[in-house]
Amino acid sequence: MAGLALLVPKGNPLGIQSLADVTRNGARIALPDSGDVRTQCLAAADALLGKAAADALFAAEAPSFPGRLGIMHRDLPEMVARGYADVAFTWYHLVSYWARIFPNHFALVSVPGAEPFFTRIAFGRVSNPLRPRAVKAFDEFFFSRAKDLYPRYDFAQMNDDEYAAPLVLG
């Protein structure tokens, strides 16, 4: 599975079963302040809910919390766990991971139709590495394992043309 998902507290006390339920139930939603995931969350909400409902969803955004200058996607589980937000909206693979490693705290709610909203991740190489043999060994290890492991942990399945393809920066 790829795309976006909702992170809710264990037991899902507000009964959120869909993106539309977030505003219907008066939930406070945790979103990153900026970046690719915020852009994709907004695009998914617009596409799946319509502009007016997406605007209402983003209007229910929980504010930053003490000790934070801004919110990143990595802050979202803390916001839900500490009660600063009732639900978080971010990358499916992260929500899946948090629900798996903290099953006493979180649950995942899939967002049907949000699969096309994703980002590409890239593997960057150092141009003049301190230990070239170590870099070569890591590359070999990573690329021999990642293609099989990523889908097991809810990253999108890649075809042979996508896997290890150069990322064009523009």
Residue 69 has pLDDT above 70, yes or no: no
Looking at the chain, the whole-number percentage of residues with pLDDT higher than 70 is 98
Pinpoint the alpha helices (H) of 29-114.
36-49, 51-59, 76-81, 92-101
Q: 81 to each of 28, 72, 153, 155, how far by Cα in Å?
A: 13, 15, 22, 24
Residue 28 has pLDDT above 90, yes or no: yes
Residue 91 has pLDDT above 90, yes or no: yes
Least confident of 64-73, 92-101, 115-124: 64-73
The two beta strands, 29-30 and 87-91, are: parallel
- Mean pLDDT of the 105-130 span: 87
User: Residue 19 carries which side chain, given as an amino acid letter?
Assistant: L
- Decide which of 3.40.50.150, 3.40.1440.60, 3.40.50.720, 3.40.190.10 is the CATH code for 4-110: 3.40.190.10
Average pLDDT, the chain: 88
- Predicted pLDDT of residue 166: 78
- Predicted pLDDT of residue 103: 97
Where, residue-wise, is CATH 3.40.190.10 in the chain? Answer: 4-110
Looking at the chain, the whole-number percentage of residues with pLDDT higher than 90 is 56
User: Residue 147 carries which side chain, given as an amino acid letter?
Assistant: K
- Mean pLDDT of the 31-48 span: 92
The two beta strands, 4-9 and 106-110, are: antiparallel
- Partners of 87 in beta bridges: 29
- Mean pLDDT of the 79-108 span: 96
- Predicted pLDDT of residue 151: 78
- Predicted pLDDT of residue 33: 84
